[in-house]
């Protein structure tokens, strides 16, 4: 099959040996480039295969372990116990007000010069109605009172976690305490609360 317009190129190719050698070298370079690309692809596939094989071996080892039914029932019991510590609230605002009132009462009984600052409520995740209600407690307090305050917070029946503690002693002892309470909001939350 003849393609019009290639006749001058064919004639030049037949007359010029350097052109033929140049085209052969270019063809050889393209072939080497393709082989190098295949080698890279093969190396990548081998690495992926090794990772997948290690995952398979790990999963097979785990699947041969005994006691999965017992573990599942233990996890279910722990989850039920944890969920029992999370109180219900009709709204995020009501949950935040409840935490704020409880913290102010608790702080007022231990260290009247401490301040309670409420943080922005955060939804734990989209699939569950759980909200994290953060708060900060700051101010001057002696270490023994600070320990008593932390004990009271930790002993609350509802789930409250101490996120961070900074207690300084010396001439001006002070406390910076971050806590988080958790609530199950059963009716809805405010539009301005962070999802």
Q: How does pLDDT run across 148-167, given as a tens digit for each residue?
A: 999 999 999 999 999 999 99
Reported as half-sphere exposure (CB side, CA atoms, 13 A), residue 124 has a value of 14
Look at residue 188 in the predicted model and tell me its pLDDT: 55
Any bridge partners for residue 160, and if so which? 181
**Alpha-carbon distance values, 107 to 21, 32, 36 (Å):** 90, 76, 70
Look at residue 132 in the predicted model and tell me its pLDDT: 95
> Which pTM value belongs to this model?
0.61
pLDDT tens, position by position, 79-125: 898 888 999 999 999 999 999 999 999 999 887 789 999 999 999 98
Reported as half-sphere exposure (CB side, CA atoms, 13 A), residue 192 has a value of 3
Res 29 pLDDT > 80: yes
Any bridge partners for residue 185, and if so which? 89
C-beta neighbour count of 42 within 10 angstroms = 10
Return mean pLDDT, the chain: 87
Look at residue 52 in the predicted model and tell me its pLDDT: 93
Both tokens assigned to 194: 């962070």
Which class in CATH covers the domain with range 88-185? alpha beta
- DSSP codes joined into one string, 38-101: HHHHHHHHHHHHHHHHHHHHHHHHHHT-S-HHHHHHHHHHHHHHHHHTS-EESSHHHHHHHHHH
Residue 25 and residue 11: Cα distance in Å, rounded?
20
Nearest to 139 by CA among 111, 109, 181, 120: 111
């Amino acid at each position: 099959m003849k393609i019009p317009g290639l006749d001058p190129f064919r004639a030049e190719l037949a007359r010029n040996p350097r052109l033929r050698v140049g085209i052969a070298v270019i063809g050889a370079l393209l072939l080497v480039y393709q082989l190098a690309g295949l080698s890279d692809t093969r190396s990548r596939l081998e690495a992926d295969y090794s990772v997948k094989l290690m995952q398979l071996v790990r999963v097979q080892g785990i699947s041969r372990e005994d006691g999965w039914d017992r573990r599942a029932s233990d996890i279910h019991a722990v989850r039920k116990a944890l969920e029992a510590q999370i109180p219900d609230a009709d709204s995020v605002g009501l949950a935040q007000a409840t935490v704020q009132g409880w913290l102010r009462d608790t702080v007022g009984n231990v260290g009247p010069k401490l301040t309670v600052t409420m943080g922005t409520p955060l939804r734990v995740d989209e699939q569950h109605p759980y909200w994290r209600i953060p708060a900060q407690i700051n101010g001057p307090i002696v270490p023994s009172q600070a320990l008593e305050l932390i004990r009271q917070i930790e002993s609350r029946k509802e789930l409250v976690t101490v996120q961070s503690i900074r207690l300084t002693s010396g001439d001006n002892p002070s406390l910076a305490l971050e806590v988080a309470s958790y609530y199950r909001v059963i009716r809805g939350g405010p539009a301005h609360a962070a999802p």
